[in-house]
Structure 1
């Protein structure tokens, strides 16, 4: 599946627009990660526990975006973006979204 953040894909033309596609995941931080992050926050630096959690969440959101676009009959996604937010006190939402399209090589 071709996926780009731009409107067009070089050397391809859009034959058909299938519509909006997305992939969503919500992740909860565990107590152990919160304690480790709090301690790391005291001394400064990257909080690896959260970085890993968010990286995994983005990968899962992308995988779900691809599945959603494929189910619509698309072979590419243009204008792909990520968005994130908090759900409750200890949960993060990651969504990957874009426009599902059918493209052909020119």
Structure 2
């Protein structure tokens, strides 16, 4: 499955727009990791625990979006975007969305 942020696929012709696809996940902070992150704010630097958590959440959201596109018969997703929002204190939603298409090479 090709997933691109562009509106086109160079070298490919979009034959059919199949529609919006999305995938999301809600991640909450782990108390142990939160304590370590709190200590890190004192000395500065990257909070690796949060970086890892958000990377995993983005990957889950993208995987769920791809599954939805495959179920529609798509072979590509164009105009893919990622967004995040806080749903409650200590929990964030990550959503991946784009347009599922059927494309063929020239």
Tell me which interval the TM-score lies in, with the shorter structure as reference length. Answer: over 0.9
Partner of 1:3: 3
What stretches of structure 1 move > 6 A for 4+ residues in a row? none
Q: Does 1:19 align with 2:16?
A: no
Please, what TM-score do these two structures have when normalized by structure 2? 0.98
SS in 1 for 2:102: strand
Is 1:66 aligned to 2:66, yes or no?
A: yes
**How far off its partner does 1:92 sit?**
1.1
Q: Hey, what does 1:92 align to over in structure 2?
A: 92
Question: C-alpha separation between the residues in 2 aligned to 1:87 and 1:30?
Answer: 16
CA distance in 1: counterparts of 2:21 and 2:75, whole angstroms: 12
Counterpart Cα distance in 2 of 1:33 and 1:72:
38
* Aligned CA-pair RMSD: 0.6
Is 1:76 the counterpart of 2:76? The answer is yes
- SS for the counterpart of 1:34 is helix
Which residue pairs with 2:47 in the alignment?
47
TM-score (structure 1 length as normaliser): 0.98
Helix, strand or coil: the match of 1:64?
A: helix
Cα distance in 2 for partners of 1:64, 1:17 equals: 19
